[in-house]
Amino acid sequence: MDRVSNSPGGSPPELLQARSTEAGAAVLRRLSTLDRFLPVWIIAAMVLGLVLGRAVPGLDDALASVEIGSVSLPIAVGLLVMMYPVLAKVRYDELGHVTGDKRLLVTSVLLNWVLGPALMFTLAWLLLPDLPDYRTGLIIVGLARCIAMVLIWNDLACGDREAAAILVALNAVFQILAFAVLGWFYLQVLPGWLGLEQNALDVSMWGIARSVLVFLGIPLLAGYLTRTFGERARGREWYESTLLPRIGPAALYGLLFTIVILFALQGDTITNRPLDVARIAVPLLVYFALMWGGSMVLTRALGLDYQRATAVSFTAAGNNFELAIAVAIGVFGVASGQALAGVVGPLIEVPALVGLVYVSLWARRFFPAAPVADRAAA
């Protein structure tokens, strides 16, 4: 990938833009058919899930009958399959270079645990003032910071895998320590100060920790062990040129499987209450656009390169939908409006962040040109 100079004596802006466009086109040409047409497969998975949910009586009950940490077993399996190949790609011996970048860590913490929940709270109250159940569900979604699908979006956008792994782990720690406290603050304390309606959120720290251990701990350990023993047995060149291309497609297969199951579980609700889904979707779309766009602008202003800016931005925009759904169902019930809002979260997030992957690849021309890691090569 061409290194573009931003110095006064560097190449003219027209040449820089041409090189960036050419480099981006080269990356896209080397993507597999699965990667290149991912939006098509995602739309097909959504449609298939809706058709299955409507056409097969009792399918939703059957899928939800077995759970891991209040999350349907098929969804749990899909998430684990989805995350493992991405975490197997991380070069764990290079994580020290990431942890030394204080701008990266501080910016991510502020975006995820200060700005993100506050923005979702504001949007929920502004856009759903007459729908308290959905409003509460969206606030819960805003509190659950992403530890899963963000790795997929970051990888597709050629972001820094090591940075994403560190930020996801950081989110996991804060999630265990801060989720219940922030839920109390945004559903009881802050509304009380503002004279708004209050809600209670009774969740246990262990319940959150269990979710983190299952959906991050298992694939993280598997990915680490795969790289450690794979490199030890055959070397890094064989591991990254032979083994990773073989296991890599499983991540997107897991993503598509998860989408099918999500839509199948909620097929009746989505098709029977389209206006409610649309009302919930509006603040979510605004949230994803503002969090991702604002994060990219901020990280560019702070001087982060494209790869790390991408990791920060997708981590800030994504949400831990499995935790949000589990909490909403556990506290308010499976048929509640809060649970519906939690379910609509990933249904809007998936196509929205897929779109932002393509926007991100286009936007990298505005960043200092550190070499962009080509995910197709891994």
pLDDT score, position 95? 82
pLDDT score, position 4? 38
pLDDT score, position 68? 66
pLDDT score, position 16? 43
pTM metric for this prediction: 0.79
pLDDT score, position 13? 45
| One-letter identity of residue 84 | Y
Spacing of C-alpha 152 from chain mean position: 7
Whole-number Cα distances in Å, 207 to 179, 256, 346: 11, 27, 21
Q: Phi/psi zone of residue 235: left (φ > 0), alpha (ψ -120 to 50 degrees), beta?
A: left
pLDDT score, position 312? 96
Q: What is the mean pLDDT, run by run of 10 residues, along the chain of 378 residues? A: 38 47 51 70 87 80 70 81 89 82 92 96 95 94 87 91 91 88 92 90 76 83 94 94 91 87 76 87 96 96 94 94 79 79 85 92 83 42
CA-based R_g, the chain, Å: 21
Please provide the size of the chain in residues: 378
Alpha helices in 157-273 (DSSP H): 161-184, 190-194, 205-212, 218-234, 236-238, 244-247, 249-265, 267-272
All structural domains of the chain, each given as residue ranges with its CATH number in brackets, are 13-377 (1.20.1530.20)
Q: What count of Cα atoms within 13 Å lies in the side-chain half-sphere of residue 72? A: 24
pLDDT score, position 15? 47
pLDDT score, position 340? 85
